[in-house]
Structure 1
Amino acid sequence: MKSFALSALALVAPVQAGLRFGCSTLTIQRLDPVVEPGKAPSAHLHHIVGGNAFNVTMEGDVGARATCTTCEQAEDFSNYWTAVMYYKAANGSYHRVNVVNNAALAKGVTGGMTIYYTQYDFTKDNVKQRPIKAFPPGFRMTVGSPATSTLTAAKGHIGLRYNCLTTLLNRGPEMPDFPTKPCPAGIFAVHHFPACWDGKNLDSPDHQSHMYNTIKNDGFTDAPPCPASHPVRMPQVTYETVWDTTPFNNMWKSGDPQPFVWSFEGTSGYGTHADYMFGWKGDSLQRAMDKDNCFYDGCGATKKQTMDIANKCKVKDMVNEPIDGCKFLFRLTQNNERYTNEN
C-alpha cells in the first residue's frame, strides 16, 4: 500500500470526500476511560488529543459537555488516543519520545495527530456506500491490542502499521513492527478503525465486536459493502502520529536490537492500539458526511478554528505522576488483558 502522502495527488477527483485535519496534543496521562473507566491511573500511559471533556470516566454526550478542543475542526470534541512511545536505553532507563507535527497540516498544530473521517472508504470505482451515518453520542471503540505478541497476529490487525520516515513526506513501505534501523525523520504510526456498525451497540465488552472491518488490505484501500451483521456504514476513522525518534538515532548502535517500546512495554511494536470516543457537536459530523465533492476540508459543512485558539485547550493532571525520566517495569498479567506498573 502506498502511503497516503505520496498518492494523494492521484485522488483529487471531485468524487472523493471526507475530512482530514490536525489535532494538537491535549494531555499525556495514564488514563483510559474506554478500557478502564474509573481507574486512575490506568494500566499504561496514553497520548490524547481532542476535547476537554476527557476524564477518568466518560459517559453520554461528550460533545455536549466539552467547551474546547485541540482540533482544527471546532465542532469536534471527540477524544483520540494511543499508547506513548519510549526509547529504552542500554542501562534500562526509559526516555519518552516526543510527537511532532505531521506534514501538510494547518499551521500551528503542536504534536498531536492527523485525523481522518473517510466518507466513501475509497470504494472500488468510487461507488458511494450510502448512507454514511455519523456516530451517535456515547459511541466508542478500539483497534488493536497490547496483548498482541506475534507477527502473524500483528499482520491480522489490518491498517495498524509503521513507516520509517526518510522525510515527513517520504514514508516508504508500511510494516507491522517497529523499523529495524534508525529512521532519518522519525517513526510514523497509523491506526485505521473499522467502518461497519451493528446499528445497536454504542460499545461492546471487548470494545471492538460492535464494529466490523471489510478492508482486507492495509490503509486507504477499497472497502467491500458492510455485512448483514454490521449493516450500517459509518465514516472510517484513521489516526496518523509522527514520533520524533531522531534524537536517539546516534544511540542506536549497529547490530543492536531496535530500542523502542510502547508504554505497555513489550518486545516489539505488535501491540500498537488506539481508542476513540465520539464527541462531535450536534449534527456537525453528519453534515460533513452528507457533503459531496469535497476533498478532506469539509467544504464549509463544518466550522474550523485557528490552531492558536485550539492550542489553548487544556485539561488538568488527574493522575499526578511523572511521565519523563523514570524507569518503568511493566508486566502483562496472566489473563493478557491488564497491565501493572511498578516504579
Structure 2
Amino acid sequence: MRVSKRVRSRGLPALLVSTALLVGALSVGTVATAAPESGKAPAASGSVHAGHVMAASTRASGDDPDGDGYIPAVPQVTGVTPSDRTPPPAYFHEFQANCSATHTAPDDPIVYPGQPGKSHDHTFMGNRSTNAHSTTGSLYGGATACKAPADASAYWMPSLFKGDQKVLPVGPQVIYYKSGVTDYTSVRPFPKGLRFVVGDPMQTAGEFRAHKGFVEGWECGDSFFNTDIPASCPSRPDVQLNLRMQAPSCWDGKYLDTPDHRSHMAYPVVKPGTNDNMCPASHPVALPMIEFKMAWPVNGDMSQVRLASGRGYSFHYDFFNAWEERTLKALVDHCVVGGLQCDARGYDETHPQKGAVLNADYRLP
C-alpha cells in the first residue's frame, strides 16, 4: 500500500531564502497509516529561483519507481502543531557528526538519480558507497567515514579546485546537528530516507548572502562574511578556507523528497512579537538543523580557487539520511532535547555527570 502523492506545492513566492519554497498549509505529532494512492497531479517541472530555473528530477529510481519526484514518508507524520513554547534556557542543544571526505565523482543521487556523470563534480563525506545509484536501501547500514558507525548518511558538496588541482577537506569535518527552533525539546530525529538540497548552484552573490542558511560565509584569517572566495588568504600553516551553512529544519511530515528537493523542508519563522523561532504551519515537524562547517587546506593566492559549480556563492550541499534509527534518536534526545553541547559520542564535557550516549568505539551500548 502506498501513500497518496496528491499534495502539491502552491507556488508561494520565495522570501529571502532562495531555496525554501513553502507548500500550502497541510493537516500534518501522531503517526498516520499509509493511505491508498488515488491519483496524482502532474509533477512540478522545476523550481523557479529568482530568474533561474533549476530542473526538477523526475526520473524513476530505486526510491521513486514512478519517477514523479515525490517520495512519500511511510508512515506520514500528521496532527502536529508547531511548538511556540519557550523551554528552560539552554545555550547549547547540539551534537556533532564528525565525517571525513571519502571520494569525488560527477554524481548526485538526489538531483540526478541513476544518471552517473551528469552533475558537476562533488566531494562526498560519510557513506563510502555514495554514487548516482544510491538509495535508502543501498546507504543504510553501509561503511562510513563518520566517527559513529551508525551514521551511514551521505553528505556532499561541490568539489573545490585550485587551478586544475582538486582540494579535499582533510580529516573529520564538523557537521552539527542542532535545534533550529526555540523549543529545542520539540525536535525529533530525521525520518529514514529523508533527503534535501541546501542552497542553489545558480544563486547570485546577493541571494547567497540573503539565504537563511548563511552563517559567516567564506572566511580565512581575519576575513569574514564573504559571499565569494577571498582573492587571498594569509600564507600560514594555521590558515584554511572555511565555510559554514545551515539547513532548513522544519519538515512537512509528508515527503522524504519532492521534485525540487526543497519544498518538503522550510526554515523556522519568528513567532510574532518575540525573538523566538518556530516551525511554520505548513512544515510543523521540528527536525535537527544540520550545519556544515567545512575547512579546506588552501591559502595564499586564492585567485584560482573555485568550486566545481562555479563562483564561491554557488556553494550548496546535499544530505541523505541513513542513520541507524536507535542511535540517532538517542543522540537527539540526550543532546538536542537535553540541551547539551555534545561531541560525536554524545558527551558534553561541561556536564560530565550527564554521561555519553556512545561508547569509546562510538557505538550505542
TM-score range relative to shorter protein: 0.5 to 0.7
Equivalent pairs, count = 253
Alpha-carbon contact 1:62-1:78 (below 8 Å) kept: no
Displacement of 1:191 in angstroms is 2.4
Alpha-carbon contact 1:203-1:210 (below 8 Å) kept: yes
With over 3 angstroms needed to count, the CA separation of the structure-2 counterparts of 1:204 and 1:24, relative to structure 1, is same
Report the AA paired with residue 149 of structure 2. Answer: A
Partner of 2:151: 76
Off by >4 Å, runs of 4+ in structure 1: none
Displacement of 1:30 in angstroms is 1.6
SS of 1:177's equivalent in the other structure is coil
Question: 5+ residue gaps in structure 2?
Answer: 1-88, 348-355
**1:301 correspondence with 2:357:** yes
Displacement of 1:97 in angstroms is 2.1
1:274 corresponds, among 296, 303, 317, to: 317
Partner of 2:175: 115
Alpha-carbon contact 1:63-1:76 (below 8 Å) kept: no
Partner of 2:188: 133
Choose 129-138 or 79-88, whichever is displaced more: 129-138
Q: Distance in 1 between matches of 2:276 and 2:155?
A: 23
Q: Distance in 2 between matches of 1:63 and 1:301?
A: 23
Alpha-carbon contact 1:19-1:296 (below 8 Å) kept: yes
SS of 2:191's equivalent in the other structure is coil
Deviation string, structure 1 residues 247-288 (Cα, Å, up to 9, x no partner): xx25x6xxxxx3321112x3x211100000001112211111
With over 3 angstroms needed to count, the CA separation of the structure-2 counterparts of 1:215 and 1:302, relative to structure 1, is farther
1:214 corresponds, among 249, 264, 268, to: 268
Displacement of 1:74 in angstroms is 2.3
With over 3 angstroms needed to count, the CA separation of the structure-2 counterparts of 1:262 and 1:223, relative to structure 1, is farther
Report the AA paired with residue 17 of structure 1. Answer: H
With over 3 angstroms needed to count, the CA separation of the structure-2 counterparts of 1:77 and 1:21, relative to structure 1, is same
Report the AA paired with residue 166 of structure 2. Answer: R
Alpha-carbon contact 2:252-2:284 (below 8 Å) kept: yes
Superposition pairs for residues 18-167 of structure 1, below 5 Å? 18-61=94-137, 64-66=140-142, 68-88=143-163, 94-100=164-170, 110=171, 112-118=172-178, 120-121=179-180, 127-148=182-203, 150-160=204-214, 161-166=216-221
Question: 5+ residue gaps in structure 1?
Answer: 1-12, 89-93, 101-109, 217-221, 253-257, 307-343
With over 3 angstroms needed to count, the CA separation of the structure-2 counterparts of 1:164 and 1:64, relative to structure 1, is closer
With over 3 angstroms needed to count, the CA separation of the structure-2 counterparts of 1:60 and 1:23, relative to structure 1, is closer
Q: What TM-score do you get using the length of structure 1 for normalisation?
A: 0.67
Displacement of 1:69 in angstroms is 1.3
Q: Distance in 1 between matches of 2:358 and 2:139?
A: 14
Displacement of 1:224 in angstroms is 0.9
SS of 2:245's equivalent in the other structure is strand
**1:174 correspondence with 2:225:** yes
SS of 1:202's equivalent in the other structure is strand
**1:261 correspondence with 2:309:** no
Alpha-carbon contact 2:157-2:317 (below 8 Å) kept: yes
With over 3 angstroms needed to count, the CA separation of the structure-2 counterparts of 1:142 and 1:304, relative to structure 1, is farther
* Percent of matched pairs sharing the same residue: 26
Alpha-carbon contact 2:195-2:257 (below 8 Å) kept: yes
Q: What TM-score do you get using the length of structure 2 for normalisation?
A: 0.63
1:234 corresponds, among 287, 292, 297, to: 287
Alpha-carbon contact 1:164-1:179 (below 8 Å) kept: yes
Displacement of 1:135 in angstroms is 1.0
Displacement of 1:84 in angstroms is 0.7
